[in-house]
Amino acid sequence: MLGPNRYGKAETRLVRVHRDGDMHRLVDFTVGVALAGDLAATHLTGDNSGVLPTDTMKNTVYALAKQHGVDEPETFALLLARHFMKTQGRLTSARVSVESFGWDRLGPHSFRRRGEHTRTTAVTVTREATQVVSGVTGLVLLNTTASEFHGFVKDRYTTLPETTDRILATAVDARWRHLGDEADWGRSFQGAVDAMTGAFVNTYSYSLQQTLMAMGTMVLAGRPEIAEIRLALPNKHHYLVDLSPFGLDNDNEVFIAGDRPYGLIEGTVTRDDVPPADAQWYL
């Protein structure tokens, strides 16, 4: 028996130059398209009469980028998803995801790639509803103090010492669901990132879970267009180096930055009065 299925074109690389006179604008996206609908025949009998080739999806990305221009990733994802739903009658849903890479202007036509984080978007359009999810990944934050961790469960395998002063570091992977499909997307994204960053800076942390809750709460308090936010916070461990063999003290000054394994803290902060998501809103 055939279960849920979808198909599409993954990781279409799109760079769009807007040549507005001498002052150019640059947009750099990686676009994913996934379509679902009445596609059982192609799985069961090889009947492709309802299948839009994935190569066509790729070409559609480039054609619409030329015809309509490219601005915010949410706007472009909505344009693409609605196009596929309008033109392909057998579909029940179209999902478009976008990774947006930032570039800093150096001159009228010169740019430098930003490396601090990646902006993400996932739009799902069905016959009944539209859902917009924005997000950020790779937002690396670190506090050198104002973090403790103690009072935790201990058993025969516990070796971790309690601490009242530690480095707290993470690489934020966050996604937030919008209440509608219209917003000032750029302002909303920057506001959410600023809120998460501000909460991380200003929360005296007794656990990364507590910090996660503070970050999500701050986003919802400042961004009324956001219904809920999901955060995944890896705990980027920093281990105090034992300098005693060299006759040196180490008063929380010299650390080893751990790679793996790492703790992973995940959670959702949501408003009490919002309707549930219309579709799965993973990225």
- The residues assigned a catalytic role are 9, 54, 237
SS3 letters across 78-102: HHHHHHHHHHCCCEEEEEEEEEEEC
Helix/strand/coil for 42:
helix
CB 98 within 8 A of CB 76: yes
Q: How many alpha carbons fall within 13 Å on the CB side of residue 72? A: 20
Element (H, E) at 252: none
CB 197 within 8 A of CB 231: no
Within 92-222, residue ranges assigned H as helices are 185-202, 208-222
Residue 240 CB: number of other CB atoms within 10 A? 16
The alpha carbons of the chain give a radius of gyration, in whole angstroms, of: 23
The size of the chain, in residues, is: 283
Extended strands (E) in 108-236: 110-113, 118-126, 130-143, 168-178, 226-235
Phi, psi of 191 (to 5 degrees): -65, -40
Phi, psi of 207 (to 5 degrees): -165, 155
Pair of tokens at residue 115: 């490396």
Taking CA atoms, 72 is separated from 17, 182, 276, in Å, by 14, 12, 25
